Structure 1
Amino acid sequence: MEMLQLLERLVNIDSSSYTKQGIDEIGAILKGKFEELDFLVKKMKQQKFGNHLVIQHRDAKSPHILVIGHMDTVFPEGTARKRPFKMEGTRAYGPGVVDMKGSLVQLLYAILCMKQTGQSGYKHIQIILNSDEEIGSPSSAALILEKAKNMKYALVLEPARPDGSIVTARRGVGQFKVEVVGRAAHSGIEPEKGQSAIEELAHKIIAFHKLTDLHQGIGLNVGIIEGGSAVNTVAPRASALVDVRFSNKDQVEFILKQMKSICAKTFVPGTKTSLSGKVDRPPMEKTEQTIGLLEIIRQSGDEMGLTITDTSTGGGSDASFPSELGVATIDGLGPIGDCAHSDDEYLEIESLFDRTLLLATVLQKLSQID
């Protein structure tokens, strides 16, 4: 089966967000495949990260459907050699097999399916394949926003949930750093002369975590802490990285105000605290436009005998960018799988074929809506 052969080829290429050579190798393969289908592929060259690809058919005029995928994974160089692509029973395994190399194959063959069946919906789409989604899209966010502003629909090919659900809402994501400066002193001889940055940071960590409100979709997690210079020294410095999640744009101002207030309060006299960072991705909210797009996808599923359900998730993706602009956006349209970002990541093989046909059907329907 050609689709699985291409999937194996892509999975066996290391393409972490920082492995430019591997991402560009994948980009070159896909560029050739799309050009065989009469698509024009524009390479957006990057110095630090892999090159992004902007793809549309040579006969496309003012496409109104944006399809977004990414070529990078979270796995370091050498992973593909250690555990290459394999199939066992109904599943395929390998680094990035479902997040989202399966989706790259799905997209290519959905277009091929449309061409082979005499449909022309592919002339109404524009595709962005970026290289840095897994690290917050630092070099591609502006590109996505630029291309999305004139679109009516955005389809994002992150994998479907394990139960097959597609994604209609995502929480926004922010990354922040808290740095505390204290004063060093010998902890045995003259501890009273010290000002512990670690103690100060500990108070602030507890306060940050108290801001979490799962009912409201607000989450703060201090994931990494560093500090101190020696076990017998009062810590002169300490820092923490804070992951912030939120469900709607109105919550951002509240969260930032609370974080600044916590950082402004001093628990250990003499210490000083600074806060830096920003919101990387806005939330993807379930709007009326999204609901309308969801209904079209459900109708397409019904025609194939597939029941399409939807869900929300706390993870971020590039779907947040077109959604922020008011574009009707649906995510999770890739194949079904689970355990992404782990050694156990898998893809349900049958879903690769089903979701390819579903994507082709949806693209054709959307192309006919003026």
Structure 2
Amino acid sequence: MRALKDLLHAKRKEMLQLLEQLVNIDSGSYTKKGIDEIGAILKKKFEDLNFLVTVIKQEKYGDHLVIQHREAMSPHILIVGHMDTVFSEGTAKKRPFKMVGPRAYGPGVIDMKGSLVELLYAIFCMKLTGQTGYKHIQIILNSDEEIGSPSSAALISEKAKDKKFALVLEPARADGSLVTARRGCGQFKVEVVGKSAHSGVEPEKGQSAIEELAHKILALHRLTDHQLGIGVNVGIIEGGVAVNTVAPHASALIDVRISKRNQAQFVFKQMKDICAQTFVAGTKTSLSGKMDRPPMEKTEKTTVLLEIIREAGEELGITITDTETGGGSDASFPSELGIATIDGLGPIGGHAHSEDEYLEIESLLERTLLLAILLEKLSRMN
């Protein structure tokens, strides 16, 4: 423990320099060049630690990385992180990395470039202090988490299916809590076709798609049940062609959140029933979309894993707490397979996805040490 702490503190400046380098590279989910640049930096650093890095090529998105030690045999610990951010190209130039007092700022600094630094240096310090737990892990660094992992979800599920533990490096909450439950999420689109007509001359000949959609929006919102953890939110609406024309078309984008797996079928059926109803005669409605991520439910296996993390925290003098959140992450995929999964193992920070995004600098060292100790513990539990 002492050797790990001393080594980490000696590497503090180096860790922050790497964090600055990564933050100052634009890597929005659709900025393939930037994501691949980050991937190349990390690939070289992991290879220097004698890890084998497999690049999973992508055309539309950045390439994914699958990483494990060259001496690893049937690793039973999966670590998942992502290299993409929500920010558009040019953001890093406008708001480059900076440190002010105890905090670091910049696009993606907490979600999740700080976690990438944490992971690398946890393994680096384990290796230099004679520990071997890193030989029991497999790492996936994907490029499209912020947009629902369309090209990496199957990869994560495939690699997770033979694992005992899954550790996901999304940032810890602002109070330091880990995440043991997340709501599942999906996006849907309702499209209504009506018939146009001049609203002053012959409105009776029209069939308003906007009016039809308005009825449906009210019905869709009534599906929300906060006690059950179900949320249905119409976030974007479009429609019509002119203010003096009965709208011939209208559409709505809907965000759906669920807390239990069995809620997905129920909510989808209710949405279909609403869309099958006709409030304005002659209009036609279609529903498309899907659930992107299943919910991450807190299970007995998760609780056991949480206790192991708490033990690791106690060794460091850290009280580990946990919470649930409505946001989605890649933790849902191993969790769905029944794997013991804990999220929020990254550094502490806040205001993710905004201009004020920050990372608590000392937490970068603290959580790196916590991850190193945890990996060593879990490596003995195959």
Q: Do the structures match in fold with TM over 0.5?
A: yes
Task: Give 1:1-370 correspondences, 5 Å limit.
Answer: 1-370=13-382
Structure 2 residue ranges without an equivalent (≥5):
1-12
* Cα shift readout 1:184-229 (whole Å, capped 9, x = no counterpart): 0001110000000011001111111111111110001111111111
Aligned equivalents of 2:101, 2:235: Cα separation in 1: 37
* Cα shift readout 1:321-355 (whole Å, capped 9, x = no counterpart): 00000000000000000000000000000000000
CA shift at 1:272, angstroms? 0.5
- Runs of 4+ in structure 1 deviating by more than 2 angstroms, as ranges, are none
* Cα shift readout 1:128-153 (whole Å, capped 9, x = no counterpart): 00000000000000000100000000
Aligned equivalents of 1:330, 1:277: Cα separation in 2: 28
Q: Counterpart of 2:320 in 1: which secondary structure?
A: coil
Aligned equivalents of 2:16, 2:271: Cα separation in 1: 48
CA shift at 1:231, angstroms? 1.0
The one-letter amino acid of 1:86's match is K
TM-score scaled by length of structure 2: 0.97
Aligned equivalents of 1:214, 1:120: Cα separation in 2: 45
Aligned equivalents of 1:3, 1:201: Cα separation in 2: 52
Aligned equivalents of 2:232, 2:125: Cα separation in 1: 44
Q: Counterpart of 1:229 in 2: which secondary structure?
A: coil
Aligned equivalents of 1:39, 1:254: Cα separation in 2: 45
CA shift at 1:254, angstroms? 1.1
Q: How many pairs are equivalent?
A: 370
Q: Counterpart of 1:215 in 2: which secondary structure?
A: coil
Q: Counterpart of 1:318 in 2: which secondary structure?
A: coil
Q: Counterpart of 1:333 in 2: which secondary structure?
A: coil
CA shift at 1:257, angstroms? 1.1
Aligned equivalents of 2:234, 2:327: Cα separation in 1: 16
Aligned equivalents of 2:299, 2:184: Cα separation in 1: 15
TM-score scaled by length of structure 1: 1.00
Aligned equivalents of 1:101, 1:326: Cα separation in 2: 28
Structure 1 residue ranges without an equivalent (≥5):
none
Aligned equivalents of 2:272, 2:86: Cα separation in 1: 31
The one-letter amino acid of 1:317's match is S
Aligned equivalents of 1:299, 1:113: Cα separation in 2: 20
Aligned equivalents of 1:307, 1:92: Cα separation in 2: 23
